[in-house]
Amino acid sequence: MSDLEYILAVDLGTGGPKVAIVSTSGEVVVSELTEIPTDLLPNGGATQDPNSWWDAIKLSTRHLFEISSVSPNNIVAISTTGQWGSTVGIDENGKVVTDCILWMDSRGEKYSREVLAGIGPLEFEGFGLDKAFKFVTKTSGIPALQGNDPLGHYLLLKNEYPEIFNRVDKFLEPVDFLTFCFTGEKKATPASMILSWLVDIRDLSNASYVKDLIDITQRDESKLPQLIPIGSVAGGVTQEVSNELGIKAGIPVVSGTPDLLSACTGSGGLDDYEFHMAISTTSWLSCQVGKKKTDPFRQIATVPGPIKNRYMLANNHDTAGICLQWIKQSLYASSKEPKGEPKGEPKGGNDKSEEISYKDLDGILKDTSPGANGTMFTPWLGGERCPIDDQHLRGSFLNLSLETTKAEMLRAVYEGVAFNAKWMQDAVEHFVKRPTGPIRFIGGGAVSSEWCQIHADIMNTEILQVDEPLYANVRGAALFASLYLSKISIEDIKKNIKIKERFVPQPKNRKLYDLMYGEFKKIYKSQKAMYKSLNSSKNKDLFKK
């Protein structure tokens, strides 16, 4: 092993950074995840400390070298991936000015609405039509009215925290912040800047910031990072980082990518219209395509992809895998299960209570029937984006009865996430004008064979469970670097990504799931007014003590 070459790959998810040592051919040798808490603030705030990311990454890197047979001298590149649509402000000397404002932080909503609004007949759904047209024609998308994106974050700091705002030299996406930590370079790519919607991507070989869009959004162009091409080397590892981690100074740090791009590479689905689906905290269904396109009504757009001059679909469900975490904590955490149901594993420390594992949840699922005895769940715990953009939506259990069991409620959550995926699948197929075909499944949700089968049945398509699905992003980040450093070919990447198991739709469940999916689609139309009333900003204070 010591004679091989390796990539140090970092996947910065919302839950914290995963660091891995990966061979240039895509073998994950060893990895470590550090959980980072999110601070939830009043009025829709959500932040994390960027310094804690970097401290955790350094600690994990040193630990991985200790427990593996890989020498730091065999690291030939560094590659980062992770969450996007979040904002880190650093000063001229590179010091973090304030906590990272996360993609879910909507405190800047009123400022985004003011900036994006139109006048009279030039306004539609809150957007100025002339402004929206300029964004979509050049960048494929539009900043969010809800303020939960880089524009909202920028305007929040500018209007409410001017002292902090004035100290910021550059606003960076998390992956670009990590690039800075390794290299000292304040750089970004058309991929990492996607959700700023400031980059003209009509010609991916010549992408650049758009002055009109910078002006519309009241940005200070000097606070934007330098743009470099996707897949280029952002810089070399600094001597300071070399001294801390033991890796060689000057080794290349490849431009960071949003997890959408690394997931595509890590799934092995690198041909046009070869779909992959990821379920982690959020969820998406994507593939590579050859041209720029936008469907503003279904919230689907094409954005720069991992392969040169190719685009890929961007869409999102805000709450997917986190729904399972929620039901686990709500119904099963810290309690002894009734006789006949699997017992959890003891917690550490002095806590003598028992907590059920995700594997145990799968075991409970096996004792329930498809359809959960008619119980349905809408997985909109934090609103929704695709195929409708409505941040007022919330989760619901429907059709409960006195006979409904806890296990059936659990199955309804599994199935509700899959019904939502089917809803997005319909929108995606309309967008690409063809069926999705087999779908490569990655992320934490893909670990569950039960969930794979449920998705196959509800989406009525073959689900391909990618081997080691939890490693798809760090593997993809490493392979992305290997590809652009000419250490591996696209064909070799496709050969090296293995499919663990194939799940085909079961005909016996078709009639049942078609019925339930039909009812699922009606829920939004019939209840959207109720959700808006209960979750509007003007009524939120009524529910406070």
Q: Is the pLDDT of residue 345 over 70?
A: no
pLDDT tens profile 247-268: 999 999 999 999 999 999 999 9
Residue 122 placed within a domain: yes
Nearest to 179 by CA among 103, 281, 258: 258
Residue 374 placed within a domain: no
Segment 147-162 shows an average pLDDT of 97
Residue 271 placed within a domain: no
pLDDT band with cut points at 50, 70 and 90 for residue 468: very high
Q: Is the pLDDT of residue 195 over 50?
A: yes
pLDDT tens profile 299-310: 899 999 999 999
Roughly what angle, to the nearest 10 degrees, separates helices 50-67 and 174-183? Answer: 60
Q: Which domain holds residue 110?
A: 87-172+190-227
Q: Is 185 helix (H, G, I), strand (E, B) or coil?
A: coil
Roughly what angle, to the nearest 10 degrees, separates helices 358-365 and 449-459? Answer: 50
pLDDT for the residue numbered 280: 87
Residue 26 placed within a domain: no
* Dihedral angle computed from the Cα positions of residues 124, 125, 127 and 129, in that order, rounded to the nearest 10 degrees: -20
Q: Is the pLDDT of residue 354 over 90?
A: no
Q: Is the pLDDT of residue 184 over 70?
A: yes
Residue 1 placed within a domain: no
pLDDT tens profile 486-511: 999 999 999 999 999 999 999 999 99
Residue 465 placed within a domain: no
Nearest to 458 by CA among 265, 314, 270, 277: 277
Q: What percent of the chain has pLDDT over 70?
A: 95
C-alpha–C-alpha distance, residues 47 and 77, integer Å:
30
Between the ranges 68-77, 114-123, 324-333, where is the mean pLDDT highest?
A: 68-77
pLDDT tens profile 421-454: 999 999 999 999 999 999 999 999 999 999 999 9
Q: Is the pLDDT of residue 338 over 50?
A: no
Could you tell me if 476 and 263 are in contact, meaning their C-beta atoms sit under 8 angstroms apart?
yes
C-alpha–C-alpha distance, residues 197 and 210, integer Å:
9
pLDDT band with cut points at 50, 70 and 90 for residue 285: very high
Residue 223 placed within a domain: yes
pLDDT for the residue numbered 334: 57
Domains contained in the chain, number: 1
pLDDT for the residue numbered 382: 86
Phi, psi of 425 (to 5 degrees): -60, -40
Residue 223 maps to which CATH number? 3.30.420.40
If one counts every other C-beta atom within 10 angstroms of the C-beta of residue 153, the result is 29
Residue 208 placed within a domain: yes
If one counts every other C-beta atom within 10 angstroms of the C-beta of residue 65, the result is 20
Q: Is the pLDDT of residue 139 over 80?
A: yes
